[in-house]
């Protein structure tokens, strides 16, 4: 449903924001539990490259059908992240990591699977980068289990909670640092005596609003389509030639 898509893209946007990527240079990101590639679309629109991992062949088929720009890998992250050391400038994950807490098979130990995931993720990330994992924990034990395995694997950081006082909008982002530990970002909508939090939430909304007027092409515009085609050419993909009709609205059909 479109509501799910909307929530998903909001969370992807927030996760990428929490990564604090360097301005003005394309990065390579890992998307854990990428599904049909909705967060990947946001990453691509921001001008970055990505590789997505997911355990569901059906979801990845949808991603292929949607012609997402990232590379896709069918894999269980509980078996580890199979990439070269220091390969990624960041990792995001939307609503996926809590599944590692479920023991589906007798041989599955959640803590071992989590540790395997986090330790191999730590290795695959460049020094000084971050992983931002949005998750839906079932309870505080799950949160503690996940966080403990992340710390055991070498990460620093912790949980950023957006809108902690709202039942509906409350979101958990596990924000992890590789190497030099940064300051943990503040959650949106966290109370402050002097009204500072209002300013902070407003500031982030402001920023996303201006993003389209400054430097970013408006989605689905001719420029946006040409940039997207150019990115795909650079990735060696087959793309139709640009013509005067590119990005032109079609007439309604009768």
Q: Which of 136, 164, 173, 147 is nearest to 20 (CA)?
A: 173
Choice among 22-31, 75-84, 94-103, 198-207 with the minimum mean pLDDT: 198-207
* Domain boundaries of the chain, sorted by first residue: 1-203, 215-253
For residue 160, give every residue at least 6 positions away whose Cβ sits within 8 Å of its Cβ, in sequence order, or none.
18, 172, 173, 174, 175, 184, 185, 186, 187
Share of the chain above pLDDT 90, in %: 56
Q: Which of 98, 95, 58 is nearest to 78 (CA)?
A: 98
Q: Which runs of consecutive H residues, i.e. helices, occur in the chain?
A: 2-19, 38-45, 57-65, 110-124, 140-152, 196-213, 222-234
Strands 71-74 and 125-135: unpaired
pLDDT for 18-28, tens place per residue?
Answer: 999 998 899 99
CATH homologous superfamily of 1-203 equals Vaccinia Virus protein VP39 (3.40.50.150)
Q: Residue 210: pLDDT above 50?
A: no
Q: What's 88's DSSP letter?
A: E
Q: What's 169's DSSP letter?
A: T
């Amino acid at each position: 449903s479109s509501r799910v898509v909307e929530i998903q893209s909001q969370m992807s946007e927030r996760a990428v924001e929490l990564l604090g990527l360097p301005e003005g240079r394309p990065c390579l990101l890992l998307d854990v539990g990428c599904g049909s590639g909705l967060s990947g679309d946001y990453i691509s629109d921001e001008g970055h490259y990505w590789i997505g991992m997911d355990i569901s062949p059906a979801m990845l088929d949808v991603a292929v059908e949607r012609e997402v720009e990232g590379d896709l890998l069918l894999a269980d992250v509980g078996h580890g992240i199979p990439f070269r050391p220091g390969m990624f400038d960041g990792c995001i994950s939307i609503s996926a990591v809590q599944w590692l807490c479920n023991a589906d098979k007798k041989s599955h130990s959640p803590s071992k699977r989590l540790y395997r995931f986090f330790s191999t993720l730590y290795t695959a990330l460049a020094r000084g980068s971050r992983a931002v994992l949005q998750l839906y924990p079932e309870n505080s034990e799950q949160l503690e289990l996940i966080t403990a395995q992340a710390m055991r694997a070498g990460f620093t950081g912790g949980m950023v909670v957006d809108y902690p006082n709202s039942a509906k909008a409350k979101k958990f982002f596990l924000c992890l640092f590789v190497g030099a530990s940064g300051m943990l970002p503040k959650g949106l909508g966290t109370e402050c005596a002097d009204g500072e939090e209002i300013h902070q939430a407003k500031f982030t909304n402001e920023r996303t609003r201006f993003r389209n007027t400054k430097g970013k092409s408006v989605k689905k515009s001719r420029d946006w389509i040409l940039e997207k085609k150019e990115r795909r050419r650079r990735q060696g993909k087959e793309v139709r030639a640009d013509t005067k009709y590119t990005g032109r609205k079609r007439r309604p059909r009768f």
